[in-house]
């Protein structure tokens, strides 16, 4: 069996490419996030459904300062007759703007905060609209996307722009066009996506940079210990209380 080993070889290449392309942006993101926390801000993480939002939130060894940001509009009104007529189920540009506006209004974001927005394709309306409106409200937006992929796709947002074109800072997760990074003779489609691991690695590198910056500033951030240790529950509660008091 050769493909498991080949996967690790390909993964090593992918991580090297991520470092080559994005180390500078990762360092900039770490500096911006550390500055945000030192000034009393909050770091919010929005992801379109892959790995990022679950990877960073409430993780052992992770920052208590990362806050999940998510929203949706669920309308429960099933009717086969109307469905057959094609009535309903539409998402217009006005709907997108209204939903994002309402989500930001009801959220706990504030000017000076950082919003990390993860979208591999970067073409869909909600991440693009979120970046636009967040910037208008004074948030610093960091896009985590796949430039080789996104740059070849047509935007579905009314502006015609993709996520990397509307954010303050872009981290390229280095995923190839189509995301998958392995092939085998006899199978038409490539397999094993690169974006999830690339995104996670990029953001953990950002975390490392944030910690370094804050320790150097004399304000070490709150880090979660494993909740599965014998004293894990108590340590977790103390971490939450510390973050609640200090904001970092």
pLDDT tens-place string over residues 69-85: 999 888 889 898 988 88
Residue range 194-229, pLDDT digits in tens = 999 999 999 999 999 999 999 999 999 999 999 999
Q: Residue 73: what pLDDT?
A: 86
Per residue in 154-173, pLDDT tens?
999 999 999 999 999 999 99
Check pLDDT > 80 for residue 244: yes
Left if phi > 0, otherwise alpha if psi is -120 to 50, otherwise beta: which for 152? alpha
- How far, in Å, CA of 54 to CA of 139, rounded? 22
Nearest Cα residue to 209 out of 55, 22, 44, 50: 22
Cα(214)–Cα(38) distance, rounded to whole angstroms? 8
CATH 3.40.50.10490 fits 19-246, yes or no: yes
Contact (CB, 8 A) for 9 and 15: no
Residue-range domain boundaries for the chain: 19-246
Q: What is the pTM of this model?
A: 0.94
- Comparing CA positions, the residue from 112, 97, 116, 101 lying closest to residue 47 is 116
15 torsion bin: left (phi>0), alpha (psi -120 to 50), beta (else)? alpha
Is the pLDDT confidence value at 108 over 90?
A: yes
Helices (H) and strands (E) in the chain, counts: 8, 7
With bands split at pLDDT 50, 70 and 90, how would you rate the model's confidence at 91? Answer: confident
Residue 37 has pLDDT above 90, yes or no: yes
Q: What is the 3 state secondary structure string of 117-163?
A: EECCCCCCHHHHHHHHHHHHCCCEEEEEECHHHHCCCCCCCCCCCCH
Residue among 53, 20, 71, 182 at smallest CA distance from 119: 53
Q: Which of 169, 220, 180 is nearest to 65 (CA)?
A: 220
The pLDDT value given to residue 49? 66
Q: Compute the mean pLDDT over every residue in the chain, rounded to the nearest whole number.
A: 95
List the one residue out of 49, 12, 51, 5 whose CA is nearest residue 197.
51
Q: Which whole number is the average pLDDT over 17-32?
A: 98
Scanning the structure block, which residue is given the tokens 């994005």?
Answer: 22
Give the position of tokens 């498991």.
4
Both tokens assigned to 131: 């970046």
Residues 185-201, mean pLDDT to the nearest whole number: 95
**Rounded to the nearest 5°, which phi and psi values hold at 192?**
65, 90
- pLDDT level of residue 89 (50, 70, 90 thresholds): confident
H/E stretch holding 5 reads: helix 3-38
User: What percentage of residues in the chain have a pLDDT greater than 90?
Assistant: 89
pLDDT per residue over 44-71, tens digit each?
Answer: 999 986 777 788 999 999 999 999 999 9
Beta bridge partners of 172: 145
């Amino acid at each position: 069996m050769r493909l498991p080993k080949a996967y690790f070889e390909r993964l090593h290449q992918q991580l090297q490419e991520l470092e080559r392309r994005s180390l500078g942006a990762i360092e900039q993101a770490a500096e911006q996030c550390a500055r945000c926390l030192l000034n009393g801000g909050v770091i919010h993480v929005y992801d379109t459904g892959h790995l990022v939002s679950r990877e960073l939130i409430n993780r052992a060894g992770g920052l208590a300062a990362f806050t999940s940001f998510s929203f949706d509009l669920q309308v429960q009104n099933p009717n086969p007759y109307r469905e057959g007529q094609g009535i309903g189920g539409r998402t217009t540009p006005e709907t997108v703007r209204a939903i994002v506006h309402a989500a930001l209004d009801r959220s706990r974001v504030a000017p000076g905060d950082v919003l990390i927005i993860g979208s591999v394709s970067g073409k869909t309306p909600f991440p693009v609209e979120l970046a636009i409106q967040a910037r208008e409200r004074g948030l610093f937006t960091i896009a985590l996307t796949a430039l080789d992929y996104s740059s070849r796709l047509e935007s579905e947002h009314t502006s015609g722009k993709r996520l990397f074109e509307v954010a303050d800072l872009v981290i390229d997760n280095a995923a190839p066009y189509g995301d998958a990074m392995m092939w085998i003779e006899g199978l038409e489609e490539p397999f094993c996506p690169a974006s999830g691991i690339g995104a996670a690695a990029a953001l953990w590198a950002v975390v490392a940079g944030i910690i370094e910056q804050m320790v150097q500033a004399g304000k070490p951030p709150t880090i979660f210990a494993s909740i599965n240790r014998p004293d894990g529950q108590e340590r977790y509660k103390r971490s939450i209380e510390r973050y609640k008091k200090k904001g970092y």
